[in-house]
Amino acid sequence: MFKRTLPVLAAGLLALQSLAPDEAAAQAGQVLNQLQNLNAKLDAILVPFKVVDTTAGLCDSAGVGTSSPNLEIDSDGTEGHFVVTSILFLTELPGVPETGFEAFSINHLEVDAERFYTRSGNLLGPTDGPGVYESVDLMGVPLRRSYDYANPIPGGNFPHQIVAESANDSDIHIDMFCSTMDDDISFSRIQVSGWKRQGDTITLTFTPGS
């Protein structure tokens, strides 16, 4: 885009030298407006992004009175939107219990400080045995209409994509529930991907359970 645009603008600037002062000023104003419009269009272009947290941590320790993890996704953009299309969790090794993700679910979602209760059922059932990896993408998982975690009545779905306005300290906040009385479970890696304005930076903050 720049290779095609700059020669045209350079030719326009050279042409200004042959004009009367008033005409040159008017033409220069038009050139500046064209440059500003071009920059605005470039700033608004959406590009893919991927953010990875390799520290992650505890989902929830076994026992009563434990806290659950939460995830915050934030853009430093001062205007415009960004889109999240995938939120991948990978369990830690060694020590993944046979229950796996059985007790891992979503409690609620906040987008631009607006809370939506999106309680899911079990994201995955028990694994085939101890010491295996498990992964899950939160986007599009089924919600539940009952409190039976083993056999929930299915409802709708967690969003397949989330659009936020880049206007808050925590543009997207996901509160999860990961209570199990018998086993600990930890995450080794969290990966968030989607689309953002090319000049913006997306940050990912995971607060482990305890």
Q: What is the pLDDT of residues 39-54, one digit of tens each?
A: 555 566 889 999 999 9
Whether the full predicted model's pTM is greater than 0.85, yes or no, is: no
Looking at residue 95, what is its pLDDT?
Answer: 60
Residue 133 predicted with pLDDT over 90:
no
Q: Which residues contact 127 (CB under 8 A, 6 or more apart)?
A: 96, 97, 98, 99, 100, 134
157 or 10, higher pLDDT = 157
Backbone angles phi and psi of 9, in degrees to 5:
-65, -40
The confidence band for 36, taking pLDDT boundaries of 50, 70 and 90, is low
Looking at residue 191, what is its pLDDT?
Answer: 97
The confidence band for 33, taking pLDDT boundaries of 50, 70 and 90, is low
Looking at residue 2, what is its pLDDT?
Answer: 43
In DSSP terms, which residues pair with 185 in a beta bridge? 60
pLDDT of 77-130, one tens digit each?
A: 877 889 999 999 988 876 667 776 777 889 899 999 999 998 887 777 766 666
Q: Which of 23, 1, 40 lies closest to 9, judged by CA?
A: 1
Average pLDDT along the chain? 79
User: What mean pLDDT do residues 185-201 have?
Assistant: 91
Looking at residue 66, what is its pLDDT?
Answer: 74
